[in-house]
Amino acid sequence: MKQFCGEDFLLESELAEKLYAKTKDMQILDYHCHLKPQEMLSNYKFRNLTDLWLTGDHYKWRQMRTCGVSEKYITGNADDYDKYIKFVESCEMMLGNPVSQWSQLELTKYFNIKKPLILKNAKEIWEQVNKQLDKMTCRSFLEMSNVYAVCTTDDPIDLLEEHTKLKDDWNKVKVIPNFRPDKIMKINAEGFNDYIKKLSKISDVNINNYESLIEALYNRIDYFHTKGSRGADHAVDVVLYEPATRNELNEIITKRIKGKMLNDGEFAKFIGNILLDLARKYHDLNWVMMVHLNCKRDANKPMFSKLGPDTGFDCSGEQFVEKQLNDVLGTLKSEDKLPKMSLFSLNATNWMSIATIAGCYQENENGIKGKIQLGTAWWFADTLTNNTKQINDFAELQSLGVSLGMLTDSRSFSSFTRHDYYRRLLCNIIATWANRGLCVNDEEILVRNIKNIFFNNAKEFFGY
């Protein structure tokens, strides 16, 4: 009987163990996460295990709510130890859930604790972890995980001062900003015009129409480029696109600046065309454009009103639109302005469509491998089942050896064991294929491809 998340976790053959042993120590390039650069600059020190695990981690919050835990033990003002005990109680119910598995892997990786996270061990684990945390900081977790670089999520109006200071203050891990213009995409949201004023000020561009908006965004992209950025994130729940002239787009922005809401047609014209204009700029700078599709955000409106965004009330959406995505990619391709792209979907039913769409736009004269990619299993899809499905879909519809591999998408400094989880799973899947005669059983070739997926491909693709 195997130990829960033990040394051979997810490794089901001698070949899987051998492949993992030869590749597990590759560095990590986490090209999309939500770690706070301010905390890395201050070298934040966690007061205890609750602070490490439960402050801001909506993955855990959702499971605790599911297990009947009162909100006072989740986002409320209950005692830290009591919150921790409620989480451990929940873990006992999370059979087969990745949150429980990740937590166990974190205890082993960072604190050398192999006892299962259950109530009868809870007090001992609490005391052992807290004793070790006294000598650790947030940077400790990245250094212990052999992290080469993390890419944070940053608004166009951010000055990126922390990133600049971190270059001089901490040379063990690169902290790189990703451009994330979500507040522009949410043009009908309350506060849009206030945001436009801030963007105007930081970019030194008077934004009064569409053309000046693009000028301001290009200004900020250039600034991010000087700070080391080579990637942009876009939370686009559904790709919308309708062709529009510059005059039409100018009228749309002018209308919104005057305080009027856009109708559905105007909104679709704006979303599709601003994606095109941003993609053109990314192409010119050789950036990677990451697009995150099919998330329904803030579904529980009463709790959103109470706690705000990113607190555990989002879900998978079903609004993937193949035609509009093809229209956007096709337009860019016809202009020779198609950037490198990774297309993520929170709904696994879209993955086959995305992978086959990507296959239509791969050809290039620059030798770029996997220029347009199906993104890795992300957020709610980051599970054993869906990671397995994504790897299989990528292998069968693209070419697995060009994959960018794993990202955490996390706000937790101890979340890098998710890379180990993925690495174990990938080694096991490839070993299974080899043992069944479904792929070449040449250890040198297998190890080379695995190392590329774990690190080398992302480093080359982004250019970090």
User: Do 53 and 32 have their domain in common?
Assistant: no
Same domain, residue pair 368 and 453: no
- Contact between 214 and 270 under an 8 Å Cβ cutoff? The reply is no
User: If residue 342 lies in a helix (H) or strand (E), which one and from where to where?
Assistant: strand 340-345
Asked if 39 and 60 sit in the same domain, the reply is no
Tell how strand 295-296 and strand 315-316 pair up.
Answer: antiparallel
Domain final residue, candidates 400, 431, 448? 400
Query: Side-chain half-sphere of 267: how many Cα atoms within 13 Å?
Result: 14
Mention every residue, 6+ apart, whose C-beta is less than 8 A from residue 415. Answer: 33, 102, 106, 408
Co-location of 316 and 172 in the same domain: no
**What amino acid occupies position 115?**
K
Question: Is 216 inside any structural domain?
Answer: no
- Which CATH number belongs to the domain containing residue 433 in this structure? 3.20.20.140
pLDDT at 238: 83
Specify the number of domains making up the chain. Answer: 3
Gap between the Cα atoms of 464 and 403, Å rounded: 16
Give the per-residue pLDDT at 318: 86
Identify how many contiguous H helices and E strands the chain contains and give both numbers.
21, 9
Query: Domain range spanning residue 10?
Result: 1-44+141-179+404-464
Question: Quick one: pLDDT at residue 365?
Answer: 87
Q: Clarify whether residues 23 and 163 are in a common domain.
A: yes
Q: What is the mean pLDDT of each run of 10 residues along the chain (464 residues)?
A: 94 98 98 97 98 95 97 97 98 97 98 98 98 98 98 98 96 97 94 97 97 98 98 91 95 95 95 97 98 92 91 89 91 97 96 96 92 96 97 98 96 96 98 98 98 98 97
Residue 459 falls within a domain, yes or no? yes
Q: Is the same domain home to 103 and 125? A: yes
Predicted structure pTM score:
0.96
Q: Please check whether residues 255 and 117 belong to one and the same domain.
A: no
Give the pLDDT confidence score for residue 320 in this predicted structure.
79
Which residues have CB under 8 Å from 73's CB, separation 6+?
Answer: 64, 82, 83, 86
